[in-house]
A and B are shown apart, each in its own frame.
Chain A
Amino acid sequence: MKRIIPAFFIMILPLLLYGCWDRVEINDLALVVGDAHDQAELAGKTGIETTFQIANPAVMSAGDSSSLGAGAGGREGAGSFWTIRETGETIREAVSKMNYRIPKQIFLGHERVIIFGDKAARSGLTPFFDRLTRSRESRDTKFIAVSKGDPGKILEQESPIFQSTVLSLYNIFLTKDGWQGIMAVNMADFVYRLSTGVTSPLAPVVELVPQTSLTPKEKQAGNINTVAVTGLAAFDTDGRLVDYLNERESMGLLWVMNRAKNRVLTIPHFIGGMEELVSLNLVKAKSKISVSIGDDGLPFFEIKTHVNFDLLEQFGGRREIVDVGMISDFEKTAGSKVINEIEAAVKKSQQLNTDVFGLGEEVRRQHRREWPQYKEHWKEIYPLVNVTVECETHIRNRELSVGAPGSRTEGAGQ
Chain B
Amino acid sequence: MLHFLRSINSKAKKGGPSGPRKIPPPRKFKEISSNLADNEAYLRQEFANISDIVFRRFYAGEVKFLAVWFDGLINNRVSQDIFRALMLDIPDKRLLEAPKEKRADFINLRLMPFYDTQKAIDLEEIKHWILASKMVLLVDGCPSGLMIDAENRPQRPISEPIVEPTVLGPHDGFVENIRVNTALIRSRLGDAMLKSEDYIIGRRTSTPVTLMYVADIANPGIIEEARRRISRIDIDGVLDSSYIKEMIQDRVFTVFPLIKGTERPDIVVADLLEGRFALVVDGSPQVLTAPSIFIEFLQATDDYYINPMVVWFIRSLRYLAIFIATNLVGLYVALITYHQEMIPIPLVFSIAGTREIVPFPVFFDALFLLIVFELLWESSIRLPRVVGAAINIVGALILGEAAVQSSLVSPTLVIVIAVTAVANFALGSGYDLALAVRIIRLAILAAGGILGFYGIALVSLFFLLHMAGLRSFGVPYFEPLAPLISKEMKDTIYRAPHWDFNERPALIAGKDTTRDNTPPPAPPANNSFFNARSKKR
Contact = CB atoms under 8 A, between A and B. Distances in A.
Given A19-B450, A22-B338, A71 B356 contact: yes
B354 A25 contact: no
B361 interface: yes
A22 B362 contact: no
Interface string A8-42: 00000000100110111111010100000000000
Interface string B214-227: 00000000000000
Interface stretch (B271-279, B322-330, B341-349): B341-349
Interface string B438-450: 0000000000011
Contacts of B361: 25
A73 to B, nearest CB: 4
A108 to B, nearest CB: 8
B451 interface: yes
B352 interface: yes
B336 A26 contact: yes
Contacts of B340: 24, 26, 29, 31, 107, 109-110
Interface residues of B, number: 26
B357 A72 contact: yes
Contact of A16 (B349, B353, B362, B450): B450
Contacts of B337: 23-26
B450 A57 contact: no
B358 interface: yes
A112 B344 CA distance: 12
Contacts, number: 89
Interface stretch (A59-67, A240-248, A297-305): A59-67
A29 to B, nearest CB: 6
Contact of A62 (B353, B355, B407, B450): B353
Given A23-B337, A26-B336, A29-B340, A73 B357 contact: yes
A27 B355 contact: yes
Interface string A43-73: 0000000000001011111100000111111
A137 B407 contact: no
Nearest to A24: B337
A124 interface: no
Contacts of A107: 340-341
Interface in B354-399: 354-359, 361-362
A74 interface: yes
B261 interface: no
A22 B452 contact: yes
Contact of B353 (A23, A58, A70, A72): A58
B356 A73 contact: yes
A137 B340 CA distance: 10
A181 B351 CA distance: 36
A58 B357 contact: yes
B354 A68 contact: yes
Which of B341, B349, B351, B449 has the largest count of A CB atoms less than 10 A from its CB? B349
Contacts of B307: none
Contacts of A71: 356-357, 407
Contacts of B356: 27, 57-58, 68-69, 71-74
Contact of A57 (B341, B349, B451, B455): B349
Nearest to B335: A26
Given A22-B338, A26-B336, A29-B340, A68 B353 contact: yes
A57 B407 CA distance: 16
A71 B407 CA distance: 9
A36 to B, nearest CB: 20
Contacts of A23: 337-338, 449, 452
Nearest to B407: A71
Contacts of B350: 57, 61
Interface of B: 336-338, 340-341, 345, 348-359, 361-362, 407, 449-452, 455
18 contacts: A20-B449, A22-B452, A23-B337, A23-B452, A24-B338, A26-B352, A27-B352, A29-B340, A29-B352, A31-B352, A55-B349, A55-B352, A57-B352, A61-B350, A68-B354, A72-B357, A73-B356, A109-B341
Closest 9 CB pairs of A and B: A71-B357, A109-B341, A61-B353, A57-B352, A73-B356, A58-B356, A57-B353, A61-B350, A60-B349
